[in-house]
Structure formats: C-alpha cells, structure tokens
Amino acid sequence: MFGPIKPVRRAYHRLFNRDRTFVRAIAGVIGSTPDNLRLYRLALTHTSFARQNASGKHETNERLEFLGDAILGSVVAEHLFNKFPYEDEGFLTEIRSRIVNRESLNQIAVKIGLNLLVKVDTTNHGTRHRSVNGNALEALVGAIYLDKGYDKTRHFILSKLLKPHIDLHSLTTTTSNFKSKLIEWAQSQNLDIRFEIIKRKHQGNTTEFTSEVYIDNKAIAVGVGLSKKKADQFAAEKGLTALKIS
C-alpha cells in the first residue's frame, strides 16, 4: 500500500530542485528573490516553445512584453529628462530610441545572461531570430512590475540595465559620418553597397526606422533611428564594427 510513495517523493524533489535553481537564476539577474515564479517562467517562454509544448490554448511572453516595453520606455524617458535638463524633445526621443531599440535590448539581454534562460523551439533554428532575447528582456520587465511594483522595477532598469550597459556619453557625443566612411571603404574595394529601410515602427507621433546595409548583396548590419538618415548612420556604424574598419 505504500509502493507509490517513493516515486511521488522523487518527483516532488525534482520539482522542488528545479524551482530552486530557477529562483537562483532569476535572483541573479534581477537582484532580488522572485515571489511569483509563474510570471518569470511566462516572461521567458517564447511563442515557438509554447506552440511546441502545448496543444490548443497556450501562454507566451507577448503580453508581458507589451507591458514591459511601456514601462521600460517610461523609466528611460524619465531618466533622460532629469539627466539632460537643457536638451529638447527631439534629442531626448532620439537617445531613448537608441537605448530601447531591439538591437540594444538584445545585446543587454545577452550581457545579463537572459539568453540562457529563454525557452524557445530549438528544432527550428530560424526561430531564434535577433529579437527573441530583447523581447524576453521586455517581458522580464513586465514580470518584475507585476511581481514587485513600479519602484523596484525602476531600480532594476536603472541599476541592472541602464547604468552598467549603456554609455550615455558615447551615445550623445557620436557625430561621425559613418555612412560616408563605409561607402568610401566599399568603393575603394570595388564592392557594391546599398542601404535599405526594412521596417517602420510607429510609436505615438514618431516613427522608428530600421535600416539594413548590404555589401555585394550580403547583409552585414542593421541600425535603428527616428529618421531614415539616422537609421542608415547606425547601420553603417555597426557595419564598420563588423568589418573591423577603424
């Protein structure tokens, strides 16, 4: 009559240890112990994984991503507003865009180790596109907000994301014409080069442009800006880095 107890106990211990490991991982990322584990598991569940592992209705991190995007933008906007009291709205909007654009968030997500925690369908290598980790970071912000409240979420954004990983001085003083430099290099190598706007994202009264630069029809870098010109510049900057051109 006591036969099933041991298997049940083993299953319980496996579940307990899994939760304990996950708690430690999240605490290491956000700097505090999570209370509602379900929120964080959901934040790190990509749509592809949910579809792969469930039939019928499934939950993903998309709703948390929506919430986190709004909170992240708000905290960054407030920080810039206080940091640059004499700059106009256009300057503040541009710097905020450079901080919270998808490429920047992807890089930050990897730096804090979030890419190691995201659940994604690994059977389809095309699924892990460049936005998976950045989306998960936004969803994580949403999870922290629901779990800990606004003040602790704001502290996480400023102390764990912005200050350690964003060089505001570099963002605000970069004025080089990267596009001209990259074009000159390509011409000197007898290579074809072109810039193409591949995405437009409307945010209120502004439009965020995504530019991709191609050399001999091979995409080498992507940049995001609040105008086509600035998006091209950022793409060119990334291209120069990728090609190791100083």
190 backbone φψ class: left, alpha, beta (φ>0; ψ -120 to 50): left
Token pair, residue 125, equals: 């290598």
> Which residues are identified as catalytic?
69, 138
**Of the candidates 69, 47, 95, which has an alpha carbon nearest to the alpha carbon of residue 153?**
69
**Of the candidates 215, 28, 191, which has an alpha carbon nearest to the alpha carbon of residue 235?**
215
Token pair, residue 99, equals: 């901080």
- CA-to-CA distance for 231 and 209, rounded, in angstroms? 6
- CA-to-CA distance for 98 and 33, rounded, in angstroms? 30
Residues in CB range of 146: below 8 A, 6 or more apart: 36, 39, 64, 67
Neighbours of 190 (CB within 10 A): 7
> Phi then psi for 101, rounded to 5 degrees?
-70, 165
